[in-house]
Every structure is written in structure tokens, then in C-alpha cells.
Amino acid sequence: MAINTSMKNKPYNAVSSEGDGNSPSSPPSPRRQTSGFSQCRRRLRSKVPLQYFPKYSLAAGIFFRRNIQYLLLLFFLYFSGLMMCVGRFSNFLLHSREPIAIYKSHLLLEKFWHDIETDNSTALELSSVWQLKRRMKVHKPCPVPTVRRHLSSVEVSSGPTGYLIVEANGGLNQQRSAICNAVAVAGILNAVLVIPSFDYNSVWKDPSEFRDIYDEDHFIATLEGYVKVVKELPNELLSRYDHNITNIPHLRVEAWAPAKHYLGKVYPVLQEQGVVRIAPFANRLAMDVPSHIQLLRCITNYRALRFSSPISTLAQKLQNRMIERSSMTGGKYVSVHLRFEEDMVAFSCCLYDGGDAEKFEMDSFREKGWKGKFKKKDFDFVAGRNRIDGKCPLTPLEVGMMLRAMGFDNNTSIYLASGKLYKAEQNLAPLLKMFPLLYTKESLATSDELAPFQGYSSRLAALDYTVCLFSEVFVTTQGGNFPHFLMGHRRFLYNGHAKTIKPDKRMFVSLLENMTIRYSFPSTASFLFVNILVLLGTAMLRVLDLHAASIFDNLLMTG
């Protein structure tokens, strides 16, 4: 698609006003209008006898000085009130003039469909895009000898200080983050970690425990020599709390707490009681921690956390079936993480092509799910503004158009990782039309194979995670823990280099807003590659904002 757009930049000219300066007067200067204060002073001097002037000069000065102060104060209050009124009015004008975007992607698909349908000769041209001219550095993840030496020296010198219990909450990958942080905190405190328990979440509604998702024995064995892990507290310690872990008083730790917080606040309690329980434990450790502690996260995430046998067995079958169905592309397939579930669409406050019926449906869903949160006075949203700001989830149609414009033809096999999509049949139809070889875990597995996983969202997400992990190209359409962990894991597997497409949704929306564009490859693909962030996996080693970035997709590795 070639872009026929023109932007007219109109500079905003600030106009400044200058006051009239007072210049020294010369004898022949014209008559000037004197100020009221000067006239007042003249009248005072003319009416007050000279002999009384010294007596009253100080009082008169104070009197006039106070009057001026009052006048200045009144003027300031008046000016402030005026500016507040003008400011609100100008904000209203600016707010009403803010650019918005209306969903038109379905209209563009109709316009381009003939070109898309007949254009299946461009896939080979894409092969050169993935090649970097410079030689890429191979990165060695998780240099473990340094960590082992450091932790061993601490343990030998002092011995374990006690037991650490944490409760991980959220979905699959938020729990994964908590597990990695729990191992890191155990390293900071030199504590024995009890296998983390999973807090039941009313949103995810998954009662799975650690052993249902991960291989418990592999987890304990892999971390041996770094952090000691046990399945449960010793009986003599449990008896102090009537054999009920919930009777152990829990500590509340601030979010993103640094290592020094644990050493200063938690460590003394651990020494005194022999056990500490931290709940909740979501995001309770800062991103920026000492390097040997950071590498504990790395070892935990990429080596110790292995899915349980039922999950890994079925996931391997799904992966093999994807390879078999990708024979026309040498067994290589593209995986797409699509966040277009009903709750995601509702929470984004975006509107698509459903008209008033869709708006009513989404308003009702928001009210039911979030109880008036979106009706508060301080919550201001405009669907069109959210879209132009890149906050709206990409539709299946938009993902299909992007991939076709980039050169992926209709012989490309695609694995779609998602939950139950909003109006799935209607919204998936355009994507299926562009990519007939479209598969999901439901279409690859039999009903009997999936039966043990039904009702367990984390186990189903683990299947998606594994199939996406080994895809040739991974496409992420929305932020979240799933793509963060997956991008980092893929970098780990491919020595720091993995093919990941992460679209710049602001630029993408601006492209789709232009109804005058033409479909022509490779000019369209060139535009997309300029304006879409394509992560070729050059292992982001630069230091980012450590509180804003996720270390799990930008994990530091050494070369």
C-alpha cells in the first residue's frame, strides 16, 4: 500500500506584548498625563503644611502602601479567577478539537480485497527483511557459576535464616512473575522457600495449584545449590500454628520494594520467628536488584519453571500438528497473540463497527463487570481518542491486513493464541478469509484431549504459550504479561535473537484512517517496516526505565 498522505504543519505563533517603558524627560518634552498616584502625592504636598509634613510622612506612606497592596491583591484575585474561567473554556475548546479516529478497517478491506486476493507472489520478497547485514552477537543467558559461588559463600557463613512463604495471585504469567520474585527474595534473605501457593482469582477462576501447572520436582532440583526449596513447612514449625499456614501472620510489603527493604524490614522478623509469610506478592520486588539476585530470576524463569507432564505432553502434540500443517512453508508457522476477548474490548472503551447496539452492549458489560467505575466524573474517555492513542486492541481483521501487507501470503500457517473472542464467528471471518490455514488449540486438539483442561484458564494459557514459543515468528497485538514472558523466553532459546512483530498501533491506526491509500507491494510493506516496531531480537541490553520495563522480556544477559 503506497501512502498518499500530506501533512500541513501550521506553526503555533505566540504573540508577546510589551509594556511602555518610562524614559527620562527632557525640558522641551511634551505634556504628559500623570498617574493617579503622582497626582495624589502632589495634592497631599500642597494641602499639608510644611511644618506638619515630617510628623505625618511615615503614617501617610504606610497608608498609601497598604492601599496599593490591597489593590494588587484584588487585581491578582480577579486575574486568577479570569484565567480559571478562560482556562476551562479553552480546555473545552481544545478537548472538542482533539483528533479522534473512527474504525474504518472493514471498509479498507472491502476496498483492497481484490488486490489482496490476487497478490500471493510477494512472500519470497520478505525473506531478506529478517536478515541483518551486521553480524549479531551471540548472548549467553544466565551465567550461573557466579551466582552459585556467591550464594554458596553466604549459606556456608551463616546458614538459612528461616522459611519464606508467598502467595502468588493473578493469571498464569503474573503467577510466574511472582514465583521468579519469590526465589529472588529467598536469595536476598538467605531463606528456604516453600513452594508458592496460588491465590484463587475471581477473574481467572482457576483453582490450579503449583504442581498442576509446573513440574514441582524439576523446580526443586534445578534450584538446588542456589536456593533451597521445600514442598511444605516442617511439622514442628507447623504445629506452632495449628498446622494451618493461614494462621501465620502475614507481612505487607510495599510494591516494587528494593532489596534493602527486605533486609531492613523482613529479615529481622525472619530471624526472630523463623518463618515469614508475604501476601499479596504481586510486583513486590523492584526490577533493579543486585546482579546475582537478578540472575536468580533468570534461572527460575528459563530453567526451573517447566510445565507439568499433562500440559507439556499435549502442547508437544499441538506443536507437531502445527508443523505438519505448515508443509508449504517448511514446517514454519506464525503465532499471533490476539487480545480481543469481550472483557478486553469493554475495558478498552473502544468502539468498532457494531454501531449503537455494540455501544449499548459494551456499556452494559462494563457496568456489570466494574460496577460504575467508568461512570465516575473523573473518568473521562472518548472511544475515538483511545483509538488514535493506540489504546484499542487490534481486531482479527486488522492483524490479517497487517500480515498480508508485510508479505505473508495465504499459504502461511497461523496459530492463534487467545481466549474466547468477542463475537468470534463474525470477527474471525475476515482473518480466516485472508489466511485459510488458521488454527487454534481447539481446532488442533480433540475434545477428549482438551477435556481435562476445560475450566482451567491457566492450563489452557500454558498450551498457547508453548506453541507460540516455538513458532518462527511471534506477533503480539497488545501488552501484558503473556507477550513479555514469551519474548524473553524466545530470546533465551535463540541466543538473544528471535523474530517478533510488535506493531506501533498509533502509526498503524493513522495508516488505516487514510481512505485514499492504494494497495501495492512492496511500497506498503516498506511503510509498515518503517512505522512498525519489528523486534528482530537484538536482545535489549540497554538499561531501560527499570520500574516501567519488564525484566522478563529485557532480561540482562552477557556476551
Q: What string of pLDDT tens digits covers the 559 residues of the chain?
A: 443 444 444 433 433 334 444 434 444 444 444 444 444 444 444 444 444 444 445 555 555 566 666 676 676 666 666 665 555 444 444 444 556 778 888 888 888 888 888 776 555 444 544 555 555 555 556 766 555 555 555 554 567 889 999 999 889 999 999 999 999 999 999 999 999 999 887 777 899 999 999 999 999 999 999 999 999 999 999 999 999 998 998 899 999 999 999 999 999 999 999 999 999 898 999 999 998 999 999 999 999 999 999 999 999 999 999 999 999 999 999 999 999 999 899 988 998 988 899 989 998 888 887 877 777 766 666 778 888 888 899 999 999 988 988 888 899 999 999 999 999 999 999 999 999 999 999 999 999 999 999 999 999 999 999 999 999 999 999 888 999 999 999 988 887 778 888 888 888 888 787 777 776 644 454 444 434 444 433 333 333 333 344 667 765 443 3
Are 271 and 255 members of one domain?
yes
Handedness of CA 185, 189, 194, 200 (dihedral sign): negative
State the CATH number of the domain containing residue 212: 3.40.50
Last residue of a domain, one of 278, 304, 330: 304
CA-based nearest residue to 480, from 172, 266, 59, 80: 172
Are 272 and 403 members of one domain?
no
Are 300 and 321 members of one domain?
no
Are 187 and 130 members of one domain?
no
Residue 508 lies in a domain: yes
Q: Which residues are bridge partners to 2 per DSSP?
A: 518
Residue 276 lies in a domain: yes
Are 244 and 337 members of one domain?
no
Largest CA distance in the chain: 114
Residue 197 lies in a domain: yes
Q: Do 474 and 335 form a contact (C-beta atoms < 8 A)? A: yes
CA-based nearest residue to 282, from 123, 203, 168: 168
Q: Which three cell numbers stand for residue 62?
A: 504606610
Are 286 and 420 members of one domain?
no
Domain that holds residue 423: 105-135+309-478+500-535
Are 127 and 148 members of one domain?
no
Q: Which three cell numbers stand for residue 146?
A: 557466579
pLDDT at 405: 83
Residue 20 lies in a domain: no
Residue 73 lies in a domain: no
Instruction: For residue 193, give the 3-state DSSP assignment.
Output: strand
Query: Domain total for the chain?
Result: 2
Residue 253 lies in a domain: yes
Q: Which three cell numbers stand for residue 430?
A: 475476515
Residue 380 lies in a domain: yes
- pTM of the predicted protein model: 0.76
Q: Which residues are bridge partners to 208 per DSSP?
A: none
